[in-house]
Structure 1
Amino acid sequence: MNLIDLLGLLVYFAILILIGYRSARKVSNSADFAVAGNKIIWPVLFATLAASFLGGGASMGRAGKTFAEGYAFMFAASAFPIATVLTGLYIAPRLKRYTDAHTVGDIMAHHFGVSARLFTGIFSLVFCVGILGAQALAVGTVFHTILGIEVATGILIGMAVVLLYSTVGGMWAVIQTDVVQFLMLAVFLPLTMLIGIHELGGPAALVERLPEAHLSLMGDYSIGMFVSIFVAFLLGETLVPPYTQRALSAPDSRHARIGYSVAGGFGFLFYFVSATIGLIALVLYPNISPDQAMPALIRDILPVGITGLVLASLLAVVMSTADSYLNSAAVIFVSDIYKPFIEPGVGERKRLWIERIVNLLIGIGAVIFALYATSIVDALLLSYALWAPTILLPFVFAVLFDLRCSRSAIAAMLAGALVTIFWKWGPFDLQAATGLTALIAGVITNVAVFTLVYRCFRVLPRASASPNAQ
């Protein structure tokens, strides 16, 4: 890499660390660390949410999958921005009814009791660490492809910076760095796509040099495979803890609705950009590893002075997701596990320090996970199986319909988790026998058990019930 590009990358890291240092002075209590004092207006909410979900999977992972499988993967994975728009319209505004809520567990406890909070906290924590590990692997892949250093070394360098600013600055630092990172990805990744298309001689030249299947709606997918991927992205990351925290950080339901919906709309554009970059890389570098498609394009076709900035924007999209999941995991541990079940009387100052310590420890755990993961998207899909079949649907049902039945939520979470685990790692190949993936089987079980148990043990909503979270 040219010295000018390297200096640009170093300046970017310095800016992130400076933001973390300045943000630390704004963090005086747990609410500041967890939801930035509920002061995030919709333009900022849009930027931070978009930067958070457009991470290593949405950029490098999607480019890599499109490199290997064509636009069909982009069409299937577009389920996630669809889910985000729907969430913004119908669910995010309702989350502001829960005064002082910081986590999904706070809301689950309000509807389903303290036991549901504990199980929600455990499943959410494992999920966040898995997604965080996928982002750490993406950071290492960028450093390896661009600078030629070992993936493990790149993981350690990139995650060290994320750990530094997110630990000291909490959500204030995460949101401010996300805005910087969003602005970079919104400019430089489309610029990379345009330069790549120009390098090939225009859009027509790109289309002519691609396999026909890479341009079709279904590609080489069977209908079952396409539907499985669509459902995985429709449910796998919807309302996950960091994104729910973003809605809770808004000052009111209007800001939550607009910020969430606009972020979902932006996702369609970004997915097209990252997928097209993958196809450009396929034409130029047909023999590279799919996960290296985007970094290789950045390394080889961009002019001096731009490469460092685009590399920084690529790291930005990955690090913005990593810091979100890191902060969320720390808040989940303290709010849903430590405070209610270990030290209910913990003081505000001690709670803040515990969140910072846990933030650091979870980051280290995610680095270890990343060192053993094999693929960015595979790591994401594995983590998705820990969310949709356990927490998502009871959470949505509770928020939309004000349901209250502890037994139904706990039974649904445990049954969904057990079926997913057995389906994926059991002694029989149930996916081949039934055509259902582990995630879909777990979701079906989750809904069926929740419905059955709820009908047997439901508690009718009280007319005077307060929407305040416990």
Structure 2
Amino acid sequence: MYAIAGGSLPLFLIVFSDIATIMGAGNFIGHATHGFTRGISHIPFIIGEQGSKIIFALLFAGLAGRFTYNTLSDMMYDLLHRDKFSKAIVGILTLGIMMAWLGGQAKGLGYIFEQFTGINALPIILLFNAMFIIYTFMGGIVSVVWTDFIQGLIVVIFGAIFYFFALAPVHWSLSELGTKLVATAGPELWNLSKVPVNTILVNFITGCFGVLAAQCYWQRCFGAKDSKTARNAMLISGIFVIIAVSLTAFVGMTARVLNPTLDPAMAMPWLMMHYVPKVVVAFVFTLILAAAMSSADSYLNSAAVIVVNDVISPFVKEVSDAKLVSWTKIATVVLGVLASLLSIYAESIIGMFSKAYTMAGGGVVPVLIVGLLWKATSKEFTMGEKNSKITPWGARAGLIAGSIVSLTYSILWGVAVSAILTIVVSLLTKENVTVEQAKSV
């Protein structure tokens, strides 16, 4: 129950929980900042990152909704490789995304408070991280999704009001925004043709594959009452957020048109302070605070579940459910403290996101896809049955090499290396185990 609510969550809870989780302070501040600095060239990253929810819905959510695993690593272990070391590796890689997103919430709120009050961001970051820890410690996923429901409603309503006022200086016209951005900052900020195709592709794949490895979305699907609910919830929330986050980047570009010398990290809060009516700012501040809290509790809960379920439990025998919950609460506190340090020392919000996406997406997703496509028999995947030709060593090779190559060179190379090594090493270490025998592994 603490992790997936017994696989009983209805459509409306998952939809609004997804929206509230995605539209956190990190997204509001981070994507506006990159819209300010990169202009239209940041849109491919957004399409990859947020559009991946739609890809997830169409390709993976229905599958995940059939099962009641606690984590993505759980599913890969049971269905694909049956190797506890690979399970721990997947856990560590997917943990990076949750920690980056968690750090981004506090960092985003720190920027907002600094703009509104003039107070240094550091104590604000520490304060909100403490709040995140306490908030998440008090309950599991059931607590999270019900608070997310209310906060998701706030995001939808106040978000629409904010974008209306924030884009008013360019009369809600992308054509006018582009013309003014070119005149203010140069043609390169409104011309994708000058951005190398490789850069666009890397941005798209990084965002897309990174999100496909995000525990919080798999966790929502495992918690859904059925496969259809999981798929439809991810599809609805995916369509909403790709529009909302794109608008956030356009808000950053609008801020550059209005104040080209502004600190990019302050693009969103500055525009709020100077071009949005004060009464609306109060509502929008409520929106961002609610979004940050709902996102943070989801990420912190998911991160703690990953540590206990994927990294610790495989190496400890016969642990009671009560003990696991106790460990998860301890992990919540420890990870919250680590996220505080990450949010303080990271150079930028989207920079944190990008590195985490690159590492996890380049290692985990290729192994997942190869495992699901390279089946041992034509039977459907069933909990308790390994039905993939991937071997433990094949999984380890693909996971480790993919993440390292992605960080060192490019996620495009990492994905290719991961997929190839997974297949080659699995063929070289082929197991003579039938599907029926695998049930007892």
TM over 0.5: same fold? yes
Aligned residue for 2:379? Answer: none
Equivalent of residue 180 in structure 2, options 194, 197, 209: 209
Percent identity of paired positions between Structure 1 and Structure 2: 25
2:339 to 366, 386, 393: 366
For the structure 1 residues 348 and 197, does the alpha-carbon distance in structure 2 shift closer, same or farther, using more than 3 Å as the test?
Answer: closer
| Counterpart in the other structure of 1:304 | 278
Task: Give the superposition deviation at 1:88.
Answer: 0.8
> In the alignment, is the contact (CA less than 8 A) between 1:34 and 1:170 conserved in 2?
yes
| 2:145 is the alignment partner of 1:175 | yes
Q: 1:96–1:247: 8 Å Cα contact kept in structure 2?
A: yes
Asked if structure 2 preserves the Cα contact closer than 8 Å seen for 1:190 and 1:273, the reply is: no
Bigger mean CA offset, 458-467 vs 293-302: 458-467
SS of residue in 1 equivalent to 2:192: coil
Determine which of 129, 132, 150 is the counterpart of 2:102.
132
2:233 to 248, 253, 259: 259
Is 1:451 aligned to residue 423 of structure 2? yes
Structure 2 portions without partners, runs of 5+ = 376-386
Deviation at 1:77, TM superposition (A): 2.2
CA distance in 1 between partners of 2:2 and 2:217 (Å): 15
Q: Which runs of 5+ in 1 are unaligned?
A: 1-31, 424-436
1:164-243 aligned at under 5 Å gives the runs 164-199=134-169, 203=173, 206-211=177-182, 213=187, 216=190, 218=192, 220-243=194-217
Deviation at 1:202, TM superposition (A): 5.6
The worse-fitting range, judged by mean Cα deviation, of 368-377 and 270-279 is: 270-279
Residue 112 of structure 2 is aligned to residue 142 of structure 1: yes
Q: Is the 8 A contact 1:334 1:355 kept in 2?
A: yes
Q: Does residue 1:381 correspond to 2:354, yes or no?
A: yes
* Cα separation, 2, equivalents of 1:272 and 1:461: 48
Aligned partners of 1:274, 1:253: CA distance in 2, in Å?
31
Distance 1:461 1:277 in 2: 56
1:244-283 aligned at under 5 Å gives the runs: 244-283=218-257
Conserved in 2, the CA contact under 8 Å of 1:156 and 1:367? yes
Change (3 A) 1:414 1:205: closer
DSSP-derived class of the 2:129 partner: helix
In 1, distance between residues paired with 2:155 and 2:398? 39
Map 1:32-51 to 2 at 5 A: 32-51=1-20
Q: CA, structure 1 residues 83+35, in 2 after alignment: closer, same or farther (shift >3 Å)? A: same
Counterparts of 1:79 and 1:324, CA distance in 2: 21
Q: Which moved more, 1:348-357 or 1:367-376?
A: 348-357
1:79-118 pair list within 5 angstroms: 79-98=48-67, 100-110=68-78, 111-113=80-82, 114-118=84-88
C-alpha distance in 2 between matches for 1:312 and 1:298:
13
What is the CA–CA distance in structure 1 between the aligned matches of 2:439 and 2:223, rounded to whole Å? 17
Name the SS of the counterpart of 1:149 in structure 2: coil
Residue 400 of structure 2 aligns with which residue? 414
1:377-413 deviation digits (Å, cap 9, x = unpaired):
1111111122012212212333454424212111111
Matched, 1:390 2:360: no
Counterpart residue type for residue 209 of structure 1: K
1:38 touches 1:251 (CA, 8 Å); kept in 2? yes
Structure 1 residues 156, 406: closer, same or farther in 2, change over 3 A? same
Q: CA deviation at 1:320?
A: 2.8
Check conservation: 1:136, 1:155, Cα contact below 8 A: yes
Deviations 1:179-209 (A, max 9, x none): 2222222222332222133345563754542
| Secondary structure at 1:83 match in 2 | helix
Larger mean CA deviation between 83-92 and 251-260 belongs to: 83-92
Corresponding position of 2:309: 335
* Structure 1 letter corresponding to 2:181: L
User: What CA deviation, in whole Å up to 9, does each residue of 1:253-281 have, x standing for no partner?
Assistant: 01011111112111221123212211221
Separation (CA, whole Å) in 1 of partners of 2:106 and 2:50: 23
Q: 148-157 vs 174-183, which deviates more?
A: 174-183
The 3-state SS of whatever aligns with 1:387 is helix
Q: Which residue of 2 aligns with 1:54?
A: 23
Assess if the C-alpha contact under 8 Å between 1:109 and 1:115 holds in 2. Answer: no
Change (3 A) 1:196 1:87: closer
Q: CA deviation at 1:460?
A: 7.8
Contact 1:64 1:294 in 2 (8 A): yes
Q: Distance in 2 between matches of 1:227 and 1:439?
A: 10
Q: 1:439, CA displacement in angstroms? A: 2.5
**Given the superposition, is the C-alpha separation of residues 88 and 380 from structure 1 closer, same or farther in structure 2, using an over 3 Å criterion?**
same
Q: Which amino acid aligns with 1:444?
A: A
- Aligned equivalent of 2:384: none
**Structure 2 vs 1, CA of residues 301 and 444 (structure 1 numbering), >3 Å: closer, same or farther?**
same
Inter-partner Cα distance in structure 2 for 1:451 and 1:68: 41
Counterpart CA distance in 2 for 1:467 and 1:256 is 26
Match for residue 128 of structure 2 among 155, 158, 167: 158
1:10-29, aligned counterparts within 5 Å?
Answer: none
**Partner letter of residue 228 of structure 1?**
V
Match for residue 288 of structure 2 among 314, 328, 341: 314
- The 1:466/1:249 distance shift into structure 2, 3 A limit, reads farther
RMSD: 2.5
From the superposition, tell whether residues 461 and 392 of structure 1 become closer, same or farther in structure 2 (CA, over 3 Å).
Answer: farther
SS at match of 1:287: coil
TM-score scaled to structure 2, two decimals?
0.88
Letter in 1 for 2:429: F
Q: Tell me how far apart the structure 1 counterparts of residues 177 and 190 of structure 2 sit (CA, whole Å).
A: 14
Distance 2:436 2:81 in 1: 17
Structure-to-structure mapping, 1:61-72, within 5 angstroms: 61-72=30-41
**Which residue identity is paired with 2:271?**
L
3-state DSSP of counterpart to 2:139 = helix
Change (3 A) 1:201 1:228: closer
The one-letter code of the counterpart of 1:440 is L
Q: How many residues align?
A: 422
Task: Report the equivalent of 1:355.
Answer: 328
- 321-330 or 200-209, which deviates more: 200-209
Amino acid at match of 1:69: R
Specify which of 415, 436, 442 is matched with residue 414 of structure 2: 442
One-letter identity of the residue aligned with 2:155: L
